[in-house]
Amino acid sequence: MATPRVLILRAPGTNCDQETAFAFQRSGAEAEILHVNRLLEAPRRLGDFQIVCVPGGFSYGDDLAAGRILASHIRRKLADELREFKAAGKLILGICNGFQVLIKSGVLLADDAQGMPATLTMNESGKYEDRWVNLIADGSKCVFLEGISALTLPLAHAEGKFVARSDAILQSLDAAGQLVLRYTRSDGQPGNDVPYPQNPNGSQANVAGICDPSGRVFGLMPHPERYMDRTQHPRWTRGEGHDPGDGLRIFENAVRYLR
């Protein structure tokens, strides 16, 4: 496949769609931004794409809870089409609000008899967090993180605390290799007790991103589309930052996988 096609799914309140489309285009894909209402009118349009991305922002203003309204649309009206999409070996990415949508729609972690196995809830600090974080990645399972061991990325959210329904579920996800992105200390070292603000939301096991069992569906709270160039790093004038920025590698991995 020479040029993978990406569907950037937006809703009222989404505000990172243009940046996310640019990131995929810069990585060699063709991106189309589509309002969820247009997709609900013609769900079979999903078949025209190889990647679906739900970008960051505040879909429907987060009026009920972060990502819940868009997740409800997906559960009720797009579930069958997205199951077919996943079964065809295609890729799904959720960033920040998109991660919340994928979790609450059951696309990322399938419901069991008791409902959702995990969720994203209010930050432990009780406030909106807007900062840069250091991350450790395990790309052995996740397509989007292949060859990546560490990242520095910005984040901005109020409901990013990852919580599993039980310790058993958290341990099962860990054992299955699905907890693929975690917050680290400021020196980049991992640990079981990464403190605030290095773990900015109090996530269990320092989780910043997870994948599904196939490794082809990935959700993360930090914003890779906001770090494409060295000059986007807050300390680039002091010689810090990478060129290209760390975030670009996530999008490049998706395109490379499909090619």
Task: Give the CATH number for residue 131.
Answer: 3.40.50.880
DSSP state of 64: S
Using CA atoms, how far apart are residues 230 and 243, in angstroms rounded to an integer?
A: 5
| pLDDT on residue 64 | 85
| pTM for the model | 0.97
Annotated catalytic residue 225: yes
Among residues 73, 157, 223, 233, the one annotated as catalytic is 223
Annotated catalytic residue 96: yes
Annotated catalytic residue 233: no
Taking residues 74-83, what's their average pLDDT?
95
Taking residues 4-8, what's their average pLDDT?
98
Taking residues 50-69, what's their average pLDDT?
94
Q: Which of 201, 205, 181 lies closest to 193 in space, CA to CA?
A: 205
Collapse the DSSP code of 142 into the 3-class scheme (helix H, G, I; strand E, B; otherwise coil) and give the result.
coil
Range in 75-89, 113-127, 189-203, 228-242 the model is least confident about: 189-203
* Domain interval for residue 26: 5-258
pLDDT above 70: residue 1: no
The DSSP-derived string for 69-113 is HHHHHIIIIIHHHHHHHHHTT-EEEEETHHHHHHHHHTSSS--BT
Structure token pair of residue 35: 């309002």
Among residues 96, 142, 159, 211, the one annotated as catalytic is 96
Structural domain total, the chain: 1
Cα separations (Å) of 118 from 97, 212, 230? Answer: 15, 12, 35
Average pLDDT value for the chain: 96
